[in-house]
Amino acid sequence: MLDILSYLPAKRKQSPNGWLSFNAVCCQHNGDSPDKRGRGGIKVTEQGWSYHCFNCSYTASFILGRNLSFKARRLLGWMGVPENEIERVNLESLKHRNIHGILEQRQQVFQALSNISFEEYDDFPPYSEVITPDYPLYWDYIRKRGVPEDYPMMTAIKNNGIHWVRPFVLVPFTWNDKVVGWTARFLDNKIPKYINHTQPGYVFGTDLQHESWTQAIVVEGIFDALSIGGLAVMHNTVSDAQARLIRSLGKEITVVPDQDKAGLELIDRAVELGWAVSIPDWPDHIKDVNDAVIEYGRLGTLLTIMQAKETSKIKIELRKKQLVKRLRD
């Protein structure tokens, strides 16, 4: 396989979550000035690599067994990989085509045919950069909320080390490894608490799902999804477009509503869609999946969810009544 690291700029920095950062090679080709602050990142795995620029937001990835995408070819060109070498990488990769790759390509074709796609949206606030342990205020906050270390959360810090306007953590929204929006959660107690840039029909967390998982857990909030590897619909209901997208993943679906009045609506919608519902009997102070992960850890929470999973409409109604009673008491 191509040793992509040998084409990177000499000056690089290894981050604890496996990203290698260096001056991005993409920005000047996308109408931006050249990066001088090491905002290009690459993560190499046995299966391939993925590239993300936090300056001009260019992304590209490669998985052994697949065709090199247009974006990956452009990136390799900018890195100085010769054209004939790029062609050789592609041919070499196709020798590794396997059943997972073929199935995933079919899924992508299905999604394209069902008109499921999102525009690239990568307009981040000024001074945005990925949160690392160098910024304890933000780093500790996202660790405390159970966000996996390899999810690129962002904030905005000015050169003098002071945050930009208000302190926030920003969660990039991705779809097939491209950035299609984001939400910023402010850490002060002022209003608004969130700023969102999302697109109709978007579901957060598709890129958190593993090919080998047979189950998908649908939750309301971004942090719920991040802390458990679930899908977030970001409301207490599921739109028709979101339902189509979730179905297109081809997994068994279980909805876990927030344990509050608003969550009741999500239960009704799940029943309507014929999906399983889980309302674990958590103590009063645990209102959602994220609270549960903070208390029981990821595995403990998954166990309570799987134990309380109901597929029959009658049993779901019964669990819902118990929840209503708990909320009243």
The residues binding Zn ion (CB under 5 A) are 24, 26-27, 53, 55-56, 58
Q: How far is the CB of 70 from Zn ion (least distance, A)?
A: 16
Note whether 128 and 54 are within 8 A (CB). yes
Q: How far apart are CA 264 and CA 200, in angstroms?
A: 23
Cβ distance to Zn ion smaller for residue 53 or 218: 53
Q: Smallest gap, in angstroms, from Cβ of residue 34 to Zn ion?
A: 9
- Between strands 252-255 and 215-219, the pairing is parallel
Strands 252-255 and 276-278: parallel
Measuring CA to CA, how many Å separate 202 from each of 133, 241, 269, 329? 30, 8, 17, 36
Q: Which is nearer to Zn ion, 59 or 236 (CB)?
A: 59
Smallest gap from Cβ 125 to Zn ion, in A, equals 17
* Beta carbon of residue 58, minimum distance to Zn ion (angstroms, whole number): 5
CA atoms in the 13 A half-sphere facing the CB of 235: 14
Pick 56 or 255: Cβ nearer Zn ion: 56
Minimum CB distance to Zn ion, residue 124 (Å): 12
Smallest distance from Zn ion to CB 120, Å: 13
Provide the β-strand partners of residue 61. 50
Q: Which is nearer to Zn ion, 39 or 319 (CB)?
A: 39
Q: How far is the CB of 276 from Zn ion (least distance, A)?
A: 42
Which segments of 59-159 does DSSP mark as H helices, in order? 70-79, 83-94, 99-113, 136-144
**Closer residue to Zn ion in complex, CB, 29/143:** 29
Q: Which is nearer to Zn ion, 126 or 200 (CB)?
A: 126
Looking at beta carbons only, is 53 or 323 nearer to Zn ion?
Answer: 53
Q: Cβ neighbours of residue 189 under 8 Å, at least 6 residues apart?
A: none
Q: Which residues contact 288 (CB under 8 A, 6 or more apart)?
A: 219, 220, 221, 224, 258, 259
DSSP single-letter state for residue 284? T
Q: How far apart are CA 183 and CA 165, in angstroms?
A: 16
Pick the closest to residue 7 from 86, 120, 97, 61 (CA basis).
Answer: 86
